[in-house]
Structures are given as C-alpha cells and as structure tokens.
A and B are shown apart, each in its own frame.
Chain A
Amino acid sequence: MLIFKIAWRNLLRHKGKSLVIGVIIFLGALIMTVGNASVIGAQQGFEKNFVQRFSGDLILVSKEEKKDSVLFSMMGDSIKVMDNYTSLEKVLKKQDYIDDFIPLTRGIAVLLGLEDTFFGVYAIGTNLKDYQRMFHNNVEITEGRKLENGERGILITEYTRDQIYKYTGHWVVPKGFAVNPEALTDDARREYEAGTLHIEHDLVFIGWGESTLNTDIRLPITGIIHFAVLNGVLNEVSIMDIESFRECFGYFTAADTAVKLTKEEKTSLDMMNDDEIFGNQDIFADTATTNAGYDVKSLQAQTEKKSGQVNLDEGAYNFISVRFKSDVPFEQGKKKLEQALAAGGADARIIDWKTASGQVAQMAGAMQGAVGIFVWLLFFVAAIIISNTLSMAALERTEELGMMRAIGALKGYFISHMFILETFLLSAVFSALGIIAGSIGVLALRLADIRAGANEMLHILFGGDSFKPVLGIAGTLGGILQLAILASFAMIYPIIVVTRIKPLDAINRN
C-alpha cells in the first residue's frame, strides 16, 4: 500500500515528466491500436476477398502436379491436366459442407501477329456464367458485352489492354463496338485524334508452355473487364472461353468427345510434349497398338470441333476451386474433403488457397507485415525515449532514493518495485486512453471508407478495395501485450539506474 502511495504521489509530483512519458505511451497505444486494426483488417479483408472472389478455400489439382503455387505463374509454366473432372464433380457434389466449386484452366497466351513484340496474356479458361456464380459476380464488363455460354471469345482486363497498347501499339476494342475515347491512354488518344490508332477487334493467341500441341487461334474480343473486388491484384487476369483455351494450349477439348477415341489416343492428345508422347515406354508397352504408332496431327484433324452441343465439362481442366460454406472451419472442411476424395478414389491433390496463390499471398502478407514492422519500429523509438526520460527522472531523484536505501529500503525489492509500479501506473492510464482514442480512430477510419482506387499497392495493403481496419478482442489483447512489452523494455535501463543508486549518493548530494 505504501509503495503504491509513493508511486502514485510521485507521478503527480513530477507532472511534467509524467505527462511527457504519458503522451508518448498514449501515442504509442493509439498508433498500435490503429496499426494492429489495419493489419488485421487487411489480412481478413484479403483472405475473405481472395477466397470469395478468386481462389476459393481449396484448389484441387492432379496428383501428377508437383507444384503448389498453381494459381499464378511468373514464367507461365504449365499445370498438369485433369481429365477426370466429371468423376471428381460427382464426389464434390455429395459434400454438404461445400458451398460451391468450379473447374478452371489457367495459362499465359502469347499474342501473335502484333509487331514482333512478345506479349503474354494471363488467361483463365472458364464458362463465364459459372465463374460469376462461384466468385460473386466479381467480373464487371466496362466495355463490350459478356461471354455467353458456349461462345468463343476473350474478355480482356483494362490493365491488359493498356499494356497491349504500350508494348504493341494496338488498341483493343470489343468486336461490334466503337472506341470509347474516355478509356484511351494519353498516347492512344493522341493517335486516335490523329486517325493513326491501330484498332484490334480480334487477337491471335497461342498457348505458352511446354506442349508442342499448342494451336494458334483467332479470338474476338468480347468485352473489356475489371474486377469488382481486388482489381489491383487481379488486373492481369483475362477470361477466355474454356474450349478456346483448351485448343490454344493443346488440351483435350469437350468437342473432342464427339470423336470416339481410345484411352491411349486421349492420353496422347493431352501429353505435354513430344518427349512425353514418344519417350514414355509405358504408353506403348501397355497397349495393343505397339506397332501401329500415332500421327498426332492426324488425330487432331479427326477431332471435329462441335462448340454448340457438347458438355464442356468433358474436356480437360487444370484445377478445381472449392469454396466451403461460411460456417465450416477451414481445417475441418479440408480434412473432410481429403477423406471424401480418398474414399471416392479420386485422383486429386488438395492445396490451400494461400499456398496455391504463392507469391501474391506472400506479397500481400509481406506488405501487411511491413506495416506491422513499422509499428514495432515506432514502438522501439518510443521505448528508447521513454527509457531515457525515466532514467533522467531516476537520476534526479538520487537524493530521495539514496536516502531510502540508507534507511533500509532493499534495492531489489522496494526501490525497483516502486519504480516498476510508477511506470506501470503511467503505462496503464495512458495506454487505456490511447487504446480508447485508437478505437475511436479505427471506427472513424471505417466510416471514412477510404478507397484504394486504381492503386494496385493499396489494394494489397488494404486487402480489398477499401480500407477497413478491424477492431477485435484478439487485436486489442495483442495490443495490450505489445504495450506491456514496450513498457517492460523501456523500464530495463531505468531500473538498472535506480538499483545502482547507493545510500552514499544521497549523502554526497547533501
């Protein structure tokens, strides 16, 4: 009680110093509260948006696929083909904890015929209607029109169109539509006004990858798109109809099912390269066609394309995105699905969305982590200032502390405890005020609804299109822990200083 009395009265006696330290702690608590809420908000926002609008909770790939980061690829490397979607679909449909799923392909389609520049378009092959259902209408048409079921064409993102113009000098406009002058870049506008702008309504693509079966195909530009959420992250993802994608990348198409092919023939068509076709002895050893050989080009020629009346799901896919129902915990859903796939004898491997998104999730995590590090750095600086101020205050009280030591106060008990209590009281009062002020600040920031706009980095930093810091119990408790660490760190040196004060110092000061 006496120690508390002395500590409290000392704080009031040294109002100036208490206030200086208190204000630093207050600012630290405020910054920490807002900073933590921002990082948590960004993490939760990114996770929610990415899972709900692009990846799903889990990605199923072929067991043959060794890579984990399958959603994005800097070098355009291929993913092993899944030719068993219909059997997987049957298993997935039976799982009541799954909210939705969609089979997809992805790859980089290289533009042909536009100057000599190499330009690759990152494309997802899908049926747009299904994609919109799965990802909550995340694709928004800004020019042109949407891709209808079974229709051939590509939806190019606004960013990709700008890049195509930048690298090839050709401006892409949806087929059947006029140039939208408002969408033109400055250079394109100058050319447009001068009448020299090269306008393209169709583009020729060829799949980029290891396969030698890739085909160049001409596709109409159906529309220009952007993404409703996380556009800054997804702005290079164009949408191609699934059959065109398969043809472009040399995959087995749904139309190919109209032609009766043996299992070996299908396998040959889905082979990634000549080495795999002709180098794998098992193919030839296990069939009765050892001496017959195959002319792949001839086989392809036999596969009549029937884009109208085929079941698109019969063709090849790269992966399946699976989303759990909102009340299903991730690990529980993952475990159940693993069991279901094993029980169904399904040939698929499960990758969680974070692993599958590879560098994108890592980059988002790194940027959000950088904010956290910045907050800690501020804390570190604050701790040094507090430590210095406390040390100065301790030295100014040498006479008082030395006298206490002289009349019997133990340095390791009374003196250090008194000092710890003073710092604790100061920290508790001003931290509480800082946390309250920070919480009000967080609420104000949420109400302010700060938008990321076209800034890609802000999309990643915010974890979505708007800045939505999240104030939670875990975050607040974490913040209190951080403040406790800060206060403890700041106290180390001052406590060393006070415990070094000797009784004789009080006499000498006299």
Chain B
Amino acid sequence: MNVIELSQVKKDYPLGSTTVNALRGVDLTVKEGDFISIVGPSGSGKTTLLNIIGCIDHATGGMVKIHGREVTTMSDYTLTLLRLHSIGFIFQTFNLIPVLNVRENVEFPLQLMKNGKYTKKQIKERTEKLINEVGLTEYIDHRPYELSGGQRQRVAIARALVTNPDIVLADEPTANLDSETGEKILLLMQDLNKTEKTTFIFSTHDPEILKYAHSIVKIRDGRIAG
C-alpha cells in the first residue's frame, strides 16, 4: 500500500530578483514499512523534499498525497493535525523542548491530542515503552541539557514514534553525531522500523550509513537521479 505519492512536485524559492528551483518535478512513491534513504549532495533538494512530504512546506506545483489524501489544498489546521497523528519528525539538531525532561518530551505529542485518544495510563505505558526501547530508562527524568547528543537524538526518535505514526521523517539524523553513535541511531531506527512497522524516510550525505537503507533515492539538482 502506498503511504506517500508524489507526482511532478516542484518547489521554487524567490531569491532576490531570481528564482531558485529546489525541486524540478519529483515523482516518488513510498510503500508502507519502507526504510528509505534520500541521498544527494548539499543543495540537491533533500531537505525540501522531506519538508514537503512532512507537510511543513508547500509545493509550488505537482501533487502530494499522504495515505491517498491530497495535502496541497489542506488548511493549516488540517495539516497540523495530520502531522500530529500521522507523521513523526526527527530533526538534525534534535529540537527537544528544553524545559521538559525526557519523559515529558516523549509524551508531548500525546498530550497535544485533545480528543482523549489515549488515557493517562496509556500515555505513561506508551512513553515508558519507547524510552525503554531507545535505552534511556535511567535518564527518564533528565532534562535535554543533561544528555549527550546521541541520547538527545534517541529522545527525538522516541518522541517521533510515540504517536504510532505512519511515517517518520528524519533529516540528516546522524549529522551532529560521531560515527559510532550515528551507527547506533540507524540500527535503532532500523529495529523500530521492524517492530513498530513504521515507514522511515531519512536523508543523509554520509555513504557509510546507506547500507542500512532498504532502498535509496538519489536526488541531484532537484530531480530524482535514481
């Protein structure tokens, strides 16, 4: 089943008097449970593509479908709820909420769900399960500034998965980590891909971590190169 369908997606940025064509007609289909890496040099359009798939940026042309629903015409409110319920994000610089501890950061997306999808008990169990899976149980009450870079990224991964999303998008998740920690993070993502049946799409320009990807999408000058 296709989770993501992109057809002739274009993205142009105005830059002074000129226009930068970040994406020049991208076609991409991602199936449920995929573990895909998007690779390409800096400025090739990897981040732009992930942002459009993650509904935090709008395409200037083409069609984007998540679970068969066209997202380019959705309101900001609908897109926000789509992100909350269906998409998990792992950022390059971790982007944890500095005033919350590990447990509170992980459960944050669940707390945003107003409709009482999860009970307090379920939130606690789900949060602790994921924190355990990323190996941070003993740091559960620590604030982000008390954690290493790798530990913060593990918290970000747990937070991305806590809502049980269909897709997890990770923009260069190992860029700010040493190679050993980066490898561990990729292994963790791979493991969660298997256990949680979640679709992972991550961007990287590090050839060393490509071996973990099930499939690779190469992008160059805003076009899919292979």
A contact residues vs B (CB 8 Å cutoff) = 2, 5-6, 9-10, 12-13, 399-400, 403-414, 502-504, 506-507, 510
Contacts and interface: CB of A to CB of B under 8 A. Distances in A.
Contact of A406 (B47, B54, B100, B163): B54
B109 A408 contact: yes
Contacts of B104: 2, 5
Interface in B20-51: 47, 51
Interface residues of B, number: 33
A406 B99 contact: no
A10 B56 contact: no
Contacts of A13: 98-99
Given A410-B77, A507-B51, A6 B92 contact: no
Contact of B108 (A407, A410, A503): A407
The 5 nearest A-B residue pairs measured at CB:
A408-B84, A9-B99, A503-B56, A403-B95, A2-B111
B147 interface: no
A503 to B, nearest CB: 4
Contacts of B85: 408
A399 B93 CA distance: 10
Contact of A408 (B92, B100, B112): B112
B89 A407 contact: yes
B97 interface: yes
B126 interface: no
Interface in B75-105: 76-77, 80-81, 83-85, 88-89, 91-93, 95, 97-100, 104
B91 A506 contact: yes
Contacts of B93: 510
A409 B56 CA distance: 12
B57 A504 contact: yes
A406 B83 contact: yes
A507 B171 contact: yes
For A12, A408, A409, which residue has the most chain B Cβ atoms within 10 angstroms?
Answer: A408
Given A407-B159, A507-B47, A10 B99 contact: yes
27 contacts: A2-B104, A2-B108, A2-B111, A5-B104, A12-B99, A13-B99, A400-B98, A405-B56, A406-B54, A406-B89, A407-B84, A407-B160, A408-B81, A408-B109, A408-B112, A408-B113, A409-B112, A410-B77, A411-B80, A412-B77, A413-B114, A502-B56, A507-B51, A507-B56, A507-B171, A510-B92, A510-B95
A455 to B, nearest CB: 55
Given A12-B99, A406-B83, A510-B171, 9 more contacts: A6-B100, A13-B99, A400-B95, A403-B95, A407-B108, A408-B83, A410-B81, A503-B56, A510-B93
Nearest to B47: A507
A179 to B, nearest CB: 80
Given A2-B111, A504-B56, A507-B91, A408 B97 contact: no
Interface of B: 47, 51, 54, 56-57, 76-77, 80-81, 83-85, 88-89, 91-93, 95, 97-100, 104, 108-109, 111-114, 159-160, 163, 171
B59 to A, nearest CB: 13
Nearest to A403: B95
Contacts of B108: 2, 407
A13 B99 CA distance: 7
Contact of A404 (B88, B92, B97, B163): B97
Contacts of B47: 507
A411 B84 contact: no
A510 B171 CA distance: 11
A475 B155 CA distance: 51
Contacts of A403: 89, 91, 95, 97
A438 B108 CA distance: 41
Nearest to A499: B76
Contacts of A408: 80-81, 83-85, 109, 112-113, 163
A408 B98 CA distance: 17
Contacts of A404: 97
Nearest to A505: B56
Contacts of A5: 99-100, 104
Nearest to A410: B80
A407 B92 contact: no
Nearest to A9: B99
Contact of B109 (A399, A400, A407): A407
A502 B108 CA distance: 18
A286 B92 CA distance: 107
B56 A406 contact: yes
B214 to A, nearest CB: 25
Contacts of B77: 410, 412
Contacts of A399: 95
Contacts of B57: 504
Contacts of A2: 104, 108, 111
A106 B81 CA distance: 79
Contacts of A9: 99-100
A406 B104 CA distance: 17
Contacts of A405: 56, 80
